[in-house]
Structure 1
Amino acid sequence: MPGKKPHLLFDFGGVIINIDYQRTVDAMRQLSRAGSTIEFNQQHQSELFDLLETGRLTPAEFRTGLRRHYALEGTDAELDAAWNAMLLDVPAERLAFIAELRAQGYQTALLSNTNQLHIEEINRRLRTQYGFRHGIADCLDRVFYSQQVGLRKPGPEIFAHALREMNWRAAETLFIEDSFQHIKTARRLGLHTLFLAPPLTLTAALPAALRAFPTPPLA
């Protein structure tokens, strides 16, 4: 028998928006006079990227760091384009699915490790493509960006912050994520989880997890 409707806490990249980290790695390598490879992927990243994602570096300081640490050459616009290369599309069916869930009474929030440059770029695309006024915030009850909160996953503090701000209990919340290191933290904190390991997608996997709640299958 289905249980109580869970609150839904979504990751952004790899869950709502499609992401390809290698595109940014390749684009930045092309800008490096030394052929350097940046230390950034889904599982690990260097301190430079942590600082950007927690709001402790401005975009200008981030570009300076890229030039210094990875011998990158290029204009600010070229660096930004390389950094944004990982951002792919936001499938319309995912946005429609989230809208349907909200209409059914589910409470929704976004919990994303992200930064000012990516926030501005993806929200610009959403305004252009879908006519949103503010971007992804139009689609959910609340958004929590690491860049604004000053904390990032997989640290437990950012999960606690989101739950506290939403007045949600961990046991009544389903966290949907494509990075397993973040899933592990959520589970330790008592959240239910749905791990979207490729090729699973939000629209394919979440309906079954909702039917099974409070014990959704672990992918």
Structure 2
Amino acid sequence: MSDLQNAPDWSTLEHLVLDFGGVLYQIDHQATASAFAQLGATDFLEHYAHGQQSPLLDQIEVGGISEDGFLQALLAQCAPGTSMDDVRTAWSAVLIGLRPGIVPVLQDLAKHYDLVLFSNTNALHAARFERQILAQHGRAFSDAFRQIIYSHRLGYRKPDLQAYRAVSRQFNIRSLRCFFVDDTAINVRAALDAGWSAAWHDPRASSLREWLRQLGCPIWD
């Protein structure tokens, strides 16, 4: 991934656009796969893994299907006797919580850059993690961002080039002064194709703060 580790020009950087799940928030796809396996859907991870997903998930992440329609489609893959509440709970098992210490990092970054969150997500997950974050951190997390952009509201999802173009157009992101961070390589490559500066971050290897410092971010010098 060395070709996706290019640092931006920090001296001219204006917009810092961050992915959510993985970069800022801990997710566990295996937890959801295990939960659905208990409901009789044993091949869930083959169709809904991060970066490798079914058309059904694409639909829910661009607002192309209702929440009930999506849950009904998942319910049809489960064993008889499974309830909608069972499916809803299993679907949300992926959501763990914000990465430890991430809120102060975002608050520091927001003092220097136009901070924007850009996430592939769906209404079911967004409602759940927003409640969780609000209960644990108040508005400190959301207030760090000038704009929070969810794919299901935008109508496009990464890595569709139209997603980046829509974000630039609708939220006044100047591509030459933008740096995008994501933990999925294909999303980073698409951002580069869209004219953004972008880099791949592996949250398993280093914290966001440590990684940004390695790329030369000057705010903690």
**TM-score scaled by length of structure 1:** 0.87
Contact 2:117–2:148 (8 Å) recurs in 1: yes
Question: Aligned in 2, Cα 1:94/1:64: closer, same or farther, shift over 3 Å?
Answer: same
**CA offset at residue 35 of structure 1?**
3.2
Q: CA RMSD in A?
A: 2.1
Deviations 1:171-215 (A, max 9, x none): 211101000110110111221112112323312212333538xxx
Query: Which residue in the other structure is 1:41 paired with?
Result: 49
| Aligned partner of residue 117 in structure 2, secondary structure | strand
User: Separation in 2 of the partners of 1:122 and 1:139?
Assistant: 16
**Identical-pair percentage:** 27
Structure 2 residue aligned with 1:122, among 111, 116, 129? 129
> Distance between the aligned counterparts of 2:163 and 2:81, measured in 1?
35
Partner of 2:3: none
Indicate how the Cα distance of structure 1 residues 147 and 210 shifts in structure 2: closer, same or farther if over 3 A, else same.
Answer: farther
Q: After the TM superposition, which residues 127-142 of structure 1 pair with which residues of structure 2 at under 5 Å, given as runs? A: 127-132=134-139, 136-142=141-147
Aligned mates of 1:10, 1:174 — CA distance in 2: 8
| Aligned residue among 94, 111, 114 for 1:107 | 114
Residue pairs, 1:21-170, within 5 angstroms: 21-32=29-40, 35-38=42-45, 39-69=47-77, 71=79, 73-103=81-111, 105-132=112-139, 136-170=141-175
Letter in 2 for 1:37: F
The structure 1 segments of at least 4 consecutive aligned residues displaced by more than 6 Å after TM superposition are none
Tell me, which stretches of 5 or more residues in structure 2 are unaligned? 1-8
Q: Give TM-score scaled by structure 2 length.
A: 0.86
CA-to-partner distance for each residue in 1:32-86, whole Å, 9 max, x for gaps?
1x63434111121001111111111122111110122455752222211111111
- 8 Å contact kept, 1:31–1:73: no
Tell me the equivalent position of 1:199. Answer: 205
Aligned AA (1:124): R
Structure 1 unaligned spans of 5+ = 213-219
Q: Give 1:20's match in structure 2, choosing from 7, 13, 28.
A: 28
Q: Distance in 2 between matches of 1:201 and 1:73?
A: 43
Alpha-carbon distance in 2 for matches of 1:73, 1:202: 43
* Equivalent in the alignment of 2:5: none
Q: 1:179 to 1:161 in 2, by over 3 A?
A: same
Partner of 2:217: 211
Instruction: Kindly provide the amino acid, as one letter, of the partner of residue 207 in structure 2.
Output: T
Compute the displacement of 1:2 (Å): 5.2
By how many angstroms is 1:89 displaced?
A: 1.6
Q: For 2:216 and 2:158, how far apart are their aligned partners in 1? A: 24
Give the paired residue count.
208
* Residue in 2 that maps onto 1:4: 12
8 Å contact kept, 2:35–2:90? yes
Task: Give the residue type in structure 2 aligned to 1:50.
Answer: D
